[in-house]
Amino acid sequence: MDKSINKLVRNYQLEKANLANTKQKIMSAVLEGLVNQTEEMTVKEAREYINETLNQYCGIEEIRADVTKNFEEYISHRKLFS
C-alpha cells in the first residue's frame, strides 16, 4: 500500500511540475508575441490589443493574469524610457 501511495505522489509531483513548465512556456510565447506586436503602439493601444488578444486566444485565467501583470510591468518600463 505504501509503495502505491508513494508512486501516486511522485506521479502527481511530476505532473504538477510539467504543468507549471507548460504554463510558463505558454505565458512566455504569448508575452513575447504581445511585446513584438505592440512596440510601435501607444500605451492605450497596447492595453486594448492585449485585452482583445487574451480574450480571443487565452481562456486560462491563471495565464491571463500572469501575462497581464507581466505586460503591465513591460509597459511601465517602456514608459520610463520613451
Instruction: Quote the pLDDT of residue 81.
Output: 59
pLDDT in tens, 5-63: 999 999 999 999 998 888 888 888 888 888 888 888 888 888 888 888 888 876 778 78
Radius of gyration of the chain (CA): 18
* Domain with 8 in it: 2-80
Overall residue count recorded for the chain in this entry: 82
The structural domain count of the chain equals: 1
pLDDT category, 80, cuts 50, 70, 90?
low
At residue 1, does pLDDT exceed 70?
no
| 33-57: burial string, b at 16+ Cβ within 10 Å, e else | ebbeebeeeeeeebbeebeebbeee
CA nearest 20: which of 69, 76, 75, 60? Answer: 60
Q: Supply the pLDDT for residue 13.
A: 94
